[in-house]
A and B are shown apart, each in its own frame.
Chain A
Amino acid sequence: MYKKLLLMLLTILVSISFVGCQTEVNIGYTGVYDENGSNTDKVLRTVGSWTKTGFANHFHGGGDAGPLIIFGIEGLVQYVRTTDEFYYLLAESIVHNDDGTSLVTIREDAKWFNGDPVVAIDILSYYILNTTDLTRYVYNMEVLDTNNNGVIDDDKELLITWKSWREPTDYAKTMLIALDTKNGSVQYKEFKEYIDYLIDLVDSIDTVVTEDNDYGETRFGKVLGDKAQLLYDKYNEFRAHRPDHYIGNGAYMLESYSENQMVLVKNPYYYNYDEVKFERLEFQQYSSTNQIYADLASGNLDYVDGLFTPEIMESLLSSNENLVSYKYYDQGTVGMYYDLEKPIWDSDLVREAFQYIFDRDEITQAGNAYAITSWKSMMVMSNVEARQYLSAEAYNQITNYSYNQEKAAELLIEAGWSKTDGKWYNEDGDLVELNIGFQDIFTKPAQAVQSQLENFGITVSLKNGGDWTTWFGNAKLEDSPYDCVVAFTELNTYGTHPGGSMKHFFDTLQAHVLHLDIDDNGTPGTEDDEWSIEVDLLDGTGSVRIADLYRNIYTYNDADLQKYTSAIVVGFSQYNYGIQFYENIAGSIFDLSTVGGLPLVDRFTVDRNITYIPEPLDSAFVDVAKTNIYFTQAGPYIRGEFYPRS
């Protein structure tokens, strides 16, 4: 009786809430898109993510400062991978000399957050503390006493000497410097005690690196040997150092932050102060996408990096008439690949059979309805990049598979598998059960994969691997809990150079998860443990080890680069170590009433759900891709291309 009353009350609540929904058709932007708008406070409100428990006051101190790193710390030069352009940030110029050296000159007006000038020794400090891709190619680095006052801590010129036996091309030299996006994160003045110690330590060593002896090198042409421990100890002291304010030099500095909110304000010392148009950036950390949608719809967010399910997108765009959605290639492909240590993947036939099992169109629909289905196998670099860096002939050589479960069954039976009562048994007569670990952002395609495999007769246990570090931590374990994973099969987060994808593939991620080092116990990519996958050169002149090609990837000229890249990509795809499902498409959503300077005006006046996806070589590609805050590392904001409509 009264519980009925309660239930009735709930029913009434539910029916009230139905009133709120409307099904309007999304149309184009009706307002005039110019400088004038409602954003009088000049604020950009967006989504961010940082360590909830807090972070140290410097980049290397622990914890992830998220947006503050993007907007508050600059490097010498910025490479924008989507536009293939260099923007000089802290560096005034970088000159590559014929004698194998490069001279980096730092901007006269570059300053730290406390007003101190950025000087050459700050950059040197970064490299004495960190080993990066660049340091692999560098023989020495020194600060020039340009003003001849006997000390080097106020000079602005840094001389880099490259290894004569591994000298990159001029383009690659700038690229390597640019790849260290945060080489302006250590202020010598603040960390003097640690850096002075380390400079002395390196100076005191006699062992010099040579061509045969550059493995295990630590700093600038010296092999530390047993003194390495001293360096590591000092490095830890450096990490634990606590400055009284955040060390940075970018366009925005920290005002405040909590678990869920961060506020950045314009840095008064910034060299490009006048160009920066937004006064404040407000970031919100969300745990539920539901909340992001709600805030977008009610106009509480100006920019969100993301692409949503079409139904949600339509509903968003119709409930807030100022929103626009852009879409662009992600330089990544989503698929499934294997832990090669698991015996099930030993058979070439099984791996080939798996290429035919999936209705990849349906997986694409589940994963990202705007993406483009791919019928290829795993191939080191995303399709969109392969089209760019491979010869057309080579690209066409990559096999396109199809959805053909009969063919898959045939291949499996040939491999010794059998099917009884709708379940597959392997050559030893054991029931086939797969543990699939997926990175949490791929819940959707993983569920589609699971349902298709189970209907095909393979039992699947789906494991949510959490965010990428956790997922990766489990996936790369020697005795990994996953037999295969649903994740990016290829991704490039580094630069528009084949070396970027390969670095991600062989060094950062996929090779570890694949357990490519099946014969050895080490980690792939390190020089003492040569992984031995071979590929054929496409001109028929023999075969090469991928490891050898990759190691020197930045030293090849254009023709060789295309030749070797083609060999690696085509050759690797033939191993069927993984399945591609779709070429990922990413997106940005903006509030047109608050943010000015956005591209494709003629398109969003017609339809705010822009479905035009330019290929990388189209001119519009650059415009659309720069809407992504991570691709451009804040570029359009610090150069004033995007501005508040006030």
Chain B
Amino acid sequence: MYNEKVIDHFNHPRNVGELSDADGIGETGSFKCGDTMKLYIKVKDDRIEDVSFQTYGCGAAIASSSMLTEMVKGKKLDEAMQITNQDVADQLGGLPPLKLHCSNLAADALHNAIEDYRRKHDQV
């Protein structure tokens, strides 16, 4: 059902945990299937200097969160805002169709984290 890359991210998730000094925190969830993702970002010079995540969900949810953190580290905020859930799935080499709807929410959490950062830093 899952490809090797998904399994690898599930088995060895990157950037797990809470950033105690996060500049922005974004949360998202699927009410229906219960998945919840929390994304923490540390921003320096308009770039994502550090990122971490916490996820409650299935294998796809964990893998896509982990994948996303790898994709955005070092990215400019505007670039990071362009990343879609589909991009994350593509980077993982694809997810089972059903998972695209319910578990692939990492990019939404990232966007929320960036918006949170911008709100806190009067960039809105």
* Chains A and B come from one and the same complex: no
